[in-house]
Structure 1
Amino acid sequence: MKRISEIIITIIVLGVIVYSFGVKADRDQLILTGKEIMLELAPVDPLSLLQGQYLIIDFKLEDAEIEFDENEINSEKVSYGYRHHRIVLSYNESGVAKFNRFEDDQPLNSDELLFKVRRAIRRNNTKYFYKIDVSQNSFLIEENTEKKYEEKAKYGVFRVGPDGDYVLVDLADKDLNKLTVKKEQ
């Protein structure tokens, strides 16, 4: 019986390791081949900005109150609480992206891409609206570089795949210059 338990535990551990390498390989591929876009950061309370060696960040996209047809309130489509959705972002020649619409049957234009988010319905007095949440809201930084990021960061730099998956790869200043300097090896 002990031998069977050891075999089962070994299989589970190997499965977790293989899965982890697969996820890492997917993220690495996305970083190499994904479309690079930038989303504008929203102001964050400076007291909560630094948490250890990472920055807590918010995006302007999350501040938007996106109205929807109030006839949907009583329909089957409405579900309260956060749900996973894809939105369509439009981006300019510099790669700065803005919310365009929720994913629908329309084909994407050459300056549009899908972006996975969490969406919730909120109520503001008598008006209903969608609230969008970008899942990556922190960015790891090197020790003693907090000031540079706190003062200069205005955009989050993402690599986005065709299915809407994304990775936050850097932060950029108001002139769209990336803030992370790659070290020579």
Structure 2
Amino acid sequence: MKRNVKWSQAIVVTTMLLILVAVNWAIWAKERHLGEGEVVYLELAPVDPRSLMQGDYMALNFELANQIQSALFQGAVLQDEPQQASNGYVVVRLDEQRIAHFQRLDDGRALSNEERRLRYRLRHGQVRFATDAFFFQEGHAERYEPARYGQFRVNGKGEPLLVAMHGDELNKLGEMAR
């Protein structure tokens, strides 16, 4: 009986250690992505004004997502196939300010120096980059109302992480004026 209890305790401790290692590895990977990822700005597209600011978050839609959705729809119509939930890559061109501009859906061709691949997800007919919402501290909505760009950090696999919101002239929003 005591042997079974010891084995059970050993299994519980080992499982907990494995979970802690996995969680810490995931945190380390995200921190590395945020610290070393390439900065890319995506232009915001209009969203339903009733859902723009809902409490402590902002609903997001990006112009690039609309362009991808249009290209996917045209491809589906040409192939006479319904859109499926999927993941994919889009090729964008970065301008001098690092703002991403739609070039084409990724077809495997080599990229020029100004081009990058960005990963997107298609869910419920909507194209998403990392998230569809930006969360902020309660009571700070007015700081984010002038948002025009989302700043992302993109890793070598093309996976974007939303970092901050920026205004017309790429000024970072949300920070207190000093």
Whether TM exceeds 0.5 here: the answer is yes
Structure 2 match to 1:68: 75
Structure 1 match to 2:175: 181
Structure 1 residue runs without a partner (length 5+): 123-130
The one-letter code of the counterpart of 1:89 is: V
Structure 1 match to 2:99: 96
Structure 2 match to 1:125: none
Q: Which range is displaced more, 61-70 or 80-89?
A: 61-70
Per-residue deviation at 1:180? 3.5
Give the count of matched residue pairs. Answer: 171
From 148, 153, 165, the counterpart of 2:143: 148
Structure 2 match to 1:81: 84
Secondary structure in structure 1 of the residue aligned to 2:130: coil
Percent identity reads 27
The one-letter code of the counterpart of 1:88 is: V
1:57 lines up with 2:52 in the alignment: no
1:164 lines up with 2:164 in the alignment: no
1:160 and 1:9 mapped to 2: Cα distance? 37
1:25 and 1:161 mapped to 2: Cα distance? 14
Structure 2 match to 1:27: 30
CA RMSD, 1 decimal: 2.7
The 1:182–1:89 alpha-carbon spacing in structure 2 relative to 1, beyond 3 Å, is farther
The 1:174–1:183 alpha-carbon spacing in structure 2 relative to 1, beyond 3 Å, is closer
The one-letter code of the counterpart of 1:135 is: A
Instruction: Tell whether the 8 Å contact from 2:140 to 2:174 is kept in structure 1 after alignment.
Output: no
The one-letter code of the counterpart of 2:143 is: K
The 1:160–1:42 alpha-carbon spacing in structure 2 relative to 1, beyond 3 Å, is same
Instruction: Tell whether the 8 Å contact from 2:143 to 2:174 is kept in structure 1 after alignment.
Output: no
Per-residue deviation at 1:51? 3.6
Structure 1 match to 2:132: 137
TM-score by length of 1: 0.79
Instruction: Tell whether the 8 Å contact from 1:38 to 1:155 is kept in structure 2 after alignment.
Output: yes
- Deviation sequence 1:92-121 (CA, Å, 0-9, x none): 011110222222231111111111111479
Q: Pick the structure with more strand per residue.
A: 1
2:90 and 2:113 mapped to 1: Cα distance? 15
TM-score by length of 2: 0.82
